[in-house]
Amino acid sequence: LVYITVAKELPVPDFVLRQIETKLASANLAIKFGQVSFDPTGQILFKDFSLRLRQFEEPLITSRLVYVRANLWAHLAGRPLPDEIHLINATLQLPAMLAPSGTTEPLVRDLTLKLRRAAQLWHIDLGVGRIGQLTVTAQGTLTPPAIAPGGTPPTPEEMALRLLQLSRQLVPQIHQFDSFD
């Protein structure tokens, strides 16, 4: 208790990490990280984080630091969505297998992103990154696509595959952003 009071962080229990990995594996996703810790308020810090689809060796997202704030009790009760995600120094990239050059292509570099969930919406409180030489900022609300009656929402894997399809179309155009100062 003295250590917790002084350090204000704890090692993440193995059962929590295994549960996260299992949930991601069921969505055909895998994470890798260098170090992880959490504080008693429910905030988890991942250092040297990467997220990938299992069929690709290269990650879709890499980040120096990822903060995730979630209600631990809601997570244990089967509601695994975090309340807040904060990426610092992240890169969104297209795997080499899908890139026209045959090498991993960065889509957005030097990304700092703060997402906050409220009900079914994700709010972008802060979004700053670079596409080619162009610095881009974003702020607003992400509204999920409407679901047909009796339909099911897209899985994380389906959303990642849609992102990859869009990325394949975007990569050849990124070099046009280099002409902006």
CA distance 142 to 99: 27
* Residue 160, pLDDT score: 84
**Confidence (pLDDT) at 75:** 62
| Weakest mean pLDDT among 15-19, 107-111, 152-156 | 15-19
Higher pLDDT, 165 or 1: 165
- The helix or strand, by DSSP H or E, that contains position 14, with its residue range, turns out to be helix 14-26
Side chain identity, residue 54: R
Check pLDDT > 70 for residue 2: no
Instruction: Count the neighbouring beta carbons within 10 Å of the beta carbon of residue 82.
Output: 19
d(CA 16, CA 29): 17
- Amino acid type, 29: L
| pLDDT class of 90 with cuts at 50, 70, 90 | very high
Pick 151 or 165 by higher pLDDT. Answer: 165
The amino acid present at 5, given as its one-letter code, is T
Is the separation of the CB atoms in 32 and 54 below 8 Å?
no
CA pair distance 1, 176, nearest whole angstrom: 56
State the pTM of this model: 0.78
Q: Is 1 a residue whose pLDDT tops 50?
A: no
Instruction: Place 16 in a pLDDT band, splitting at 50, 70 and 90.
Output: low
Assess contact for 175 and 132: CB atoms under 8 A.
Answer: yes
The amino acid occupying position 67 is Y
pLDDT of residue 181: 62
For the stretch 17-48, pLDDT in tens is 777 777 777 778 888 888 888 776 768 888 99
pLDDT at 6 over 60: no
